Amino acid sequence: MNAIWFIAKQTVRECRRRRVFLVVPIVTVGFLFLYGLGNYYAFEKVNGTTDLGDQLVNTRALAGSTLVGLSMFTTLFLGAALGIFLAFNTVRGDAETGVLQPLVVRPVARSGLLLGRLLGASMICCGYVGALYVGSVLITGAVGHWWPSPALLPGLSLAGGVVIVIALTLLGSIFLSSLTNGIAMFMVYGAGLLAGLLGQLGEVLNSPSLRNTGRVTSFILPFEALYQAGLNSLTSGATGLTRVIVRLGPLGGAQAGGPLLVAWAAVYLAVVAALALFFFARRDL
């Protein structure tokens, strides 16, 4: 356990020395500024409710959930990108440059090195995702007076999704060179998002085939399911026509989460980590 924690701290140290903690916050401030501007102009046009025939639509909830949903979409992407860049060269990439061998010959289990890297990258990415999500929610709350309910669950779902992306990247790094692994992971990420959108489209069009495509892909790539569940919980407080309109959009979150999804995500993470440890232990370096 000490070795895992030590390697995790080394990952954080590397980010500090490589100025990741300088550049990322600066770019993030730019993102949040843009997000704040978007909130300001969006809520400028929002009065509270709009009468659509005999139904009232809560435009404040509509605008708020859409904006936070948009932020979640971006946050997941940025968090996943950060995670991929932190983990894509962990095994084969570092072995090819000769960084890994001096570490692996020490009396520390290879599992300690791999789990330490997973922990370190997860700490950084979860911190980043959390900060970005909380920042977005605070901006929308302050500018538009709309707060998601539940407030924390969508953020936790995003963090869970990013940890799964990191674990998949570590597994890929055992077999693929840095470049190939990085490209492959972004493609997997893109495929997951596409499948999620197809699933949502299936809900809207009432197409079982599209719905099943989304569900199966969410099962194979649960980071997408966690994201969908986060979006779903974000709008769970909306009612009536407002809820219907929100759910129809690409940021509505067609798939609800729940304990089963959390359990599956945990099992999936454990299986991916176990596979990574198994193959890393047997890999010639």
User: Side chain identity at 158, as an amino acid letter?
Assistant: L
Which CB atom, from 13 or from 145, has the smaller least distance to another protein? 13
Among 14, 29, 55, 152, binds another protein (CB under 8 A): 14
* Residue 246 CA, distance from chain mean position: 21
The SS3 assignment for 250 reads coil
User: Quick check: 107 binds another protein (CB under 8 A)?
Assistant: yes
Token digits for 111? 């599992």
- CA gap 124, 174 in Å, rounded: 21
Which CB atom, from 18 or from 145, has the smaller least distance to another protein? 18
User: Quick check: 10 binds another protein (CB under 8 A)?
Assistant: yes
Which CB atom, from 120 or from 160, has the smaller least distance to another protein? 120
- Give bridge partners of residue 57 from the DSSP assignment: 50
- CA gap 25, 37 in Å, rounded: 18
User: Side chain identity at 67, as an amino acid letter?
Assistant: L
User: Quick check: 239 binds another protein (CB under 8 A)?
Assistant: no
Cα-Cα-Cα-Cα dihedral sign, residues 143, 148, 152, 156 = negative
CA angle 59, 74, 92 (to 5 degrees): 160
CB of 102 to another protein, least distance (A): 6
Which CB atom, from 98 or from 259, has the smaller least distance to another protein? 98
Judged by CB under 8 A, the stretch of 14-22, 38-46, 154-162, 168-176 that binds another protein is 14-22
Q: Which of residues 169-228 bind another protein (CB under 8 A)?
A: none
Polymer length in residues for the chain: 285
Which CB atom, from 106 or from 145, has the smaller least distance to another protein? 106
CA angle 29, 155, 247 (to 5 degrees): 105
User: Quick check: 104 binds another protein (CB under 8 A)?
Assistant: yes
CA angle 26, 30, 32 (to 5 degrees): 110
Judged by CB under 8 A, the stretch of 29-37, 117-125, 186-194, 277-285 that binds another protein is 277-285
- CA gap 104, 174 in Å, rounded: 14
Among 1, 17, 51, 206, binds another protein (CB under 8 A): 17
Q: What is the DSSP letter of 50?
A: E
CB of 23 to another protein, least distance (A): 14
User: Quick check: 103 binds another protein (CB under 8 A)?
Assistant: yes
Judged by CB under 8 A, the stretch of 91-99, 123-131, 248-256, 257-265 that binds another protein is 91-99
User: Quick check: 18 binds another protein (CB under 8 A)?
Assistant: yes
The SS3 assignment for 56 reads strand
Number of amino acids touching another protein (CB under 8 A): 22
Which residues of the shown chain bind another protein in the complex (CB under 8 A)? 3, 6, 10, 13-14, 17-18, 97-99, 101-109, 282, 284-285
